[in-house]
């Protein structure tokens, strides 16, 4: 049951680098090893990779907090909280330092109760979502840190309204409510897709819009409120996959343009 609440490039060999006698850098994988409720700085300069939610009123919900993913090459986590008074508005590509409380939520690694955010630089390169599959995403009831808090992509799945994946979707996303749909791949594997509008404005924005039919690619993140059933995915985007005939026609069109261009040049 849902509650209503809302790169750095390259591998890093050590979780903690000591700078001088008293200062140290805390990387995400170091923070994720801490007990929930630990107050800690995340000062490795993680880069903002995705905005999950912004304050405002949308689809019948009033969102009061920001939620965004950051990645420093050792891991990825969600930063969640009201940023009023901190002087920062999250933008994808920003490198930042954060102070707050490490408090995982539904197995999402999370920094909350934020006390400071410092902008280091903007316009940094951002890693794309990691490609996975339904079997890979639901292999463990406890989400591994290699996937938890990361932006993920599952391609070429179809959406259904029932957990047995027998009734294809139709119409629009519901308004003023969260909604459970189900993804099924070509191998018959099924996974819940949870449109978590009550917590994330990105999902709230889907309310009343058409649900894509046919094969789709889904980008989102995993969560799980229990350790007795598989994780689910919350979507940030659902993109319809072009039909093969469309791809063929597009290819022929491009070929024609190339021929025309050669004739003109």
Outline which parts of the chain fall under CATH 2.40.50.140.
130-244
pLDDT tens-digit map of 110-131? 999 999 999 999 999 999 999 9
Mean confidence (pLDDT) of the chain: 86
Which of 1-5, 24-28, 81-85, 101-105 comes out lowest in average pLDDT? 1-5
Q: Where is pLDDT greater, at 246 or 196?
A: 196
The pLDDT assigned to 228 comes to 81
The pLDDT assigned to 65 comes to 96
pLDDT tens-digit map of 204-255? 999 999 999 999 999 999 999 888 889 999 999 999 998 765 444 444 444 4
Distances in Å between the Cα of 5 and the Cα atoms of 68, 84, 95 are 14, 17, 26
pLDDT band at 23 (very low <50, low <70, confident <90, very high): low
* Residue whose entry in the numeric block shows the structure tokens 């924005």: 205
pLDDT band at 258 (very low <50, low <70, confident <90, very high): very low
Instruction: Copy the structure tokens of residue 107.
Output: 């197995």
pLDDT tens-digit map of 40-90? 999 999 999 999 999 999 888 999 999 999 999 999 999 999 999 999 999
- For domain 130-244, which architecture applies? Beta Barrel (2.40)
The pLDDT assigned to 244 comes to 65
Burial 30-46 (b: 16+ CB within 10 A, else e): bbbeeeeeeeebbbbbb
Outline which parts of the chain fall under CATH 2.40.50.200.
16-121
Instruction: Name the CATH superfamily housing domain 16-121.
Output: Bacterial OB-fold (2.40.50.200)
Helix (H), strand (E) counts: the chain: 4, 16
Distance (Å, whole) CA 43 – CA 24: 9
Counting residues of the chain whose pLDDT is more than 90, the rounded percentage is 78
């Amino acid at each position: 049951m849902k509650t209503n609440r809302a790169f750095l490039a390259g591998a890093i060999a050590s979780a903690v680098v000591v700078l001088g006698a008293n200062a140290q850098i805390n990387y995400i994988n170091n923070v994720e090893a801490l007990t929930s409720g630990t107050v800690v700085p995340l000062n490795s300069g993680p880069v903002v990779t995705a905005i999950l939610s912004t304050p405002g009123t949308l689809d019948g919900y009033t969102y009061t907090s920001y939620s965004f993913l950051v990645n420093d090459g050792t891991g990825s986590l969600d930063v969640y909280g009201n940023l009023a008074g901190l002087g920062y508005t999250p933008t994808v590509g920003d490198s930042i330092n954060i102070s707050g409380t490490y408090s995982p939520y539904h197995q999402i690694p999370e920094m909350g109760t934020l006390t400071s955010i410092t902008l280091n630089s903007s316009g940094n390169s951002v890693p794309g979502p990691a490609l996975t599959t339904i079997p890979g995403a639901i292999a463990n009831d406890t989400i591994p840190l290699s996937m938890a808090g990361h932006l993920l992509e599952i391609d070429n799945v179809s959406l259904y309204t029932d957990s047995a994946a027998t009734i294809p979707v139709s119409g629009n996303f519901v308004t003023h409510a969260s909604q459970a749909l189900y993804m099924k791949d070509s191998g018959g594997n099924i996974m819940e897709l949870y449109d978590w509008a009550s917590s994330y404005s990105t999902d709230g924005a889907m309310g009343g819009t058409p649900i894509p039919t046919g094969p789709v690619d889904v980008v989102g993140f995993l969560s799980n409120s229990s350790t007795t059933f598989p994780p689910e995915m919350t979507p940030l985007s659902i993109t319809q996959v072009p039909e093969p005939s469309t791809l063929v026609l597009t290819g022929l069109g491009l070929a024609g343009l190339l021929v025309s261009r050669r004739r003109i040049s």
